[in-house]
Amino acid sequence: MDAIDVIRAKRDGAALTPEQIDWAVDAYTRGAIADEQMAALAMAILLNGMTRPEVARWTDAMIRSGERMDWAELDRPTTDKHSTGGVGDKITLPLSPLVAACGAAVPQLSGRGLGHTGGTLDKLESIPGWRASLTNAEMLDVLRAAGAVVCAAGSGLAPADRKLYALRDVTGTVESIPLIASSIMSKKIAEGTGALVLDVKVGSGAFMKTVANARELAETMVAIGTDHGVRTTALLTAMDRPLGDAVGNAVEVAEAVEVLAGGGPADVVELTLTLAREMLSAAGLESRDPADALKDGSAMDVWRRMITAQGGDPDAPLPSARETHTVVAPSSGVLTRLDAYGVGVAAWRLGAGRARKEDPVSAAAGIICHAKPGDTVTEGRPLLTLHTDDEARLPRALESLDGAYEIADGKPTLLPLIIDRV
């Protein structure tokens, strides 16, 4: 085949044939299609979209570019969760051990943060000794020992996606819903889970700003999972304000441990339990309420085993910041808005995130929110506490908070935490 013919077909609005898709993905992975040609094809896909059969075949071709993991040796069903990312989204940390405590195996491949959205691996690496990189054999050992594992995807998993994602990032084609959906689902299906629940975030701190766009992405991903024999559902959840009280790395780990200990912010607990019930239902395990596993300490026991099995010390003190700065309420009233994006950018500028994938992150950097939208606040009382190891980062972080919160009379207008189910 010829790359130009494939580009022209999609440019002119045609549906690509299975043979064209298989050839294009394979040829690009091998280097037989140049970056500029694949960039042109990605832009044509962004502009003209893909049909459901096209998206399913594109995803399948990316899966077949590498290995597909198999957990048949385990004596329990597998289920997993994927979040599209947000601010304060530490849900994987309490959720994975909680679901494992209720009888499922959770093989969770996670990523690192980029920009204002935090990465699960960055958070966990604030625990002394914890390792993100595991071989497939080590993943299996951790699953047997603890029931849950959270780690980085290996280089053999969907290599076509890794190469294409890097190209999309620099060619203005990240926003294509077919390419977003196939990128996420190729890795999750290759991961080998039997059931999958998608947490699609909506709001200023999320990639999807509107409910309509989030629903389109969710429906596309659910269709891909269904077409590949993976039981898949999706929840649309709010990201117009930060999730929980902590935004950063070590501070989010501490908050996740609070949830596992039976406490924690109400919104984090609610979303963790809702997703746990969804995951267990998808895996055919509904005999135990996950709320009981939080109350009786069994979820905490799994957390400790999981962290220990990956080299971490669950009892070690978490890193703390050398510098803090408190933002106080400028007036009394009701906190009617606390913008997720503004808080996320502030945490990023404090050192909790990265602008490029090669950048280091600070384990101690982050923000503690002392009030949530709807709370009554008093002039001069703490609103936010900024944590950083570098005092020089504070001015720019504070700049990003200008206009990020409002205090007024009356109730705020907020998205419901759980918006919809697909």
Q: What does the pLDDT read at residue 395?
A: 97
The pLDDT value given to residue 418: 97
Place of tokens 């091998």: 30
- The answer to which of 56-70, 132-146, 164-178, 246-260 has the lowest mean pLDDT is 164-178
408, amino acid identity: A
Place of tokens 């603890």: 146
Cα-based distances in Å from 252 to 229, 255, 259: 34, 5, 11
228 is a catalytic site residue: no
Over the stretch 3-20, which tens digit does the pLDDT of each residue have?
A: 999 999 999 999 999 999
In one letter, which amino acid is 143?
A: L
Looking at 161, 199, 227, 267, which residue is catalytic?
161
CA distance 167 to 31: 13
**What's phi and psi for 126, nearest 5 deg?**
-75, -10
Phi, psi of 282 (to 5 degrees): -65, -30
Which runs of E-coded beta strand occur in 41-105? Answer: 79-83
β-pair partners for 200: 236
Tokens 């084609």 map to which residue?
173
Could you say which of 90, 112, 187, 304 is catalytic?
187
Phi, psi of 279 (to 5 degrees): -65, -45
The residue from 96, 176, 183, 186 that is catalytic is: 183
Under DSSP, the state recorded for 392 is: G
Q: What's the confidence (pLDDT) of residue 157?
A: 85
Is pLDDT of 228 > 90? yes
CA-to-CA separations, 131 to 93, 122, 142, 209, 310, in angstroms, rounded: 14, 11, 12, 33, 5
82 noted as active-site residue = yes
305 noted as active-site residue: no
349 contacts: CB under 8 Å, gap ≥ 6: 393, 396, 397, 400
- Cβ proximity of 219 and 52 under 8 Å: no
List 123, 168, 215, 231, catalytic entry: 168
State mean pLDDT over 188-194. Answer: 93
In this predicted structure, what is the pLDDT of residue 356? 74
Measured between alpha carbons, how far is residue 295 from residues 196, 259, 301 in Å?
25, 10, 12
Catalytic-residue membership of 201: no
Catalytic residue among 57, 81, 82, 215: 82
β-bridge partners, 323: 388
Residue range 174-203: mean pLDDT, rounded: 94
Q: Going from the N-terminus, what domains does the chain have, and what CATH number goes with each? A: 3-49 (1.20.970.10), 79-309 (3.40.1030.10), 323-408 (3.90.1170.30)
Catalytic annotation present for 168: yes
- The Cα–Cα gap between 283 and 196 comes to 9
Please write the tens of the pLDDT for every residue from 370-398: 999 999 999 999 999 999 999 999 999 99
Determine the pLDDT at residue 12: 97
- Percent of the chain at pLDDT > 70 equals 100
For residue 106, pLDDT beyond 80: yes
Q: Of all helices (H) and strands (E), which one includes residue 7?
A: helix 3-11
Closest CA to 259 of 244, 247, 274, 248: 244
Average confidence score pLDDT of the chain: 94
CA end-to-end distance (rounded Å), the chain? 38
**Residues 48, 203: Cα–Cα separation, whole Å:** 25
